[in-house]
Structure 1
């Protein structure tokens, strides 16, 4: 097993043992070492396996989540559809929390006031700006209803500066994600590159704060849900119609 420092020097540097409670203080450090030694990057584990490995740590799930503050990423079924409710995927290794002086948690940002949260939620129409779900609505999986919160986004401004802006997100969309940077210059450039007709259509969507799919787009979405035999029937009908049209032109 290599550490980041060992890889940079081209050396094999063994990690401390996650079983050593004396040398590795705290459940968070031991959980990180367990992920490296027992799970492996990109692999799946369950909450049951985690609890079995740390029977003496009552809050081991919370200690695992604490790793996110140090750049670690562990996905759940909320942001990875291939995972079951009890499964987790070890996606990215962050700072070496087991190395004294190496790991530094980001500075805690000041909490938002109730008035600030209310203004953001109202300005966003009480909708998650990623998936569009409203407060208390069902996701359609009979597992949970939505809970809206206010997240911070770093926005790169056209003048080259950066600023933090607030946006509404549901708990499911924000779970397990790291800070995302929005490049406003790129967005504005793509808007200006649209044709006049496309800009008018976009302006209507912006004014209504919603996008209504066209009849063709709705039909395409319906077609994609059909079984293979039905999709073949639709394709056959399209081919027959095209051939009939060509025959009329001869």
Structure 2
């Protein structure tokens, strides 16, 4: 755990506490969620019986195992998995996990290496091909599925406890969407003002790189809140206030060293 030490000029107790919260992911509210292993897998609003959930989990596991049998599954294997997930969701349209897994499967259509290590670091973010006009429909579907999974799995109140399964899905799905938003922000930053090629789904195209990064930071915050350690760190790194304070602190230290 990082400790913010007081330095000349000395910080007030409140200032030190603010800096501690900004720069140390472990001190933030991201660890405040209550996970109750005795709870049912999903909220009552999902409205799927435990017997049906058991069958769904088995079918879903079989679909994912076929995809994971190879680090770079064939297009035919990916399409078969998508068809199976589509069929599953037609029968059970409120099943959150299937939306999350369909989003990950759609990613494989343009980013086969995503199958190797989807939630470990920002290097696994999809390449720029997901943010081209040709992939706009695909990226829209990915964001829609991630959003639907999050909506269905999120508790009615932030204070409500969540199940182990629910927390894991919310951690992974918020982190996945955060990665994509961060990549969209980076793509936008690398393009000149003269370039008019759209970035990602239509609803994101009018947003600036900074706005996309702020949205990514929010998703990383929630990903960390539900237990993803990498998301906790990324939430701090992408937090606009932490970045601003970091710049102020660096400038103050530079001036102090020069003086």
With normalisation by structure 2, the TM-score equals: 0.28
With normalisation by structure 1, the TM-score equals: 0.28
Structure 1 or 2: larger strand share?
1
**Structure whose alpha-carbon radius of gyration is higher:** 1
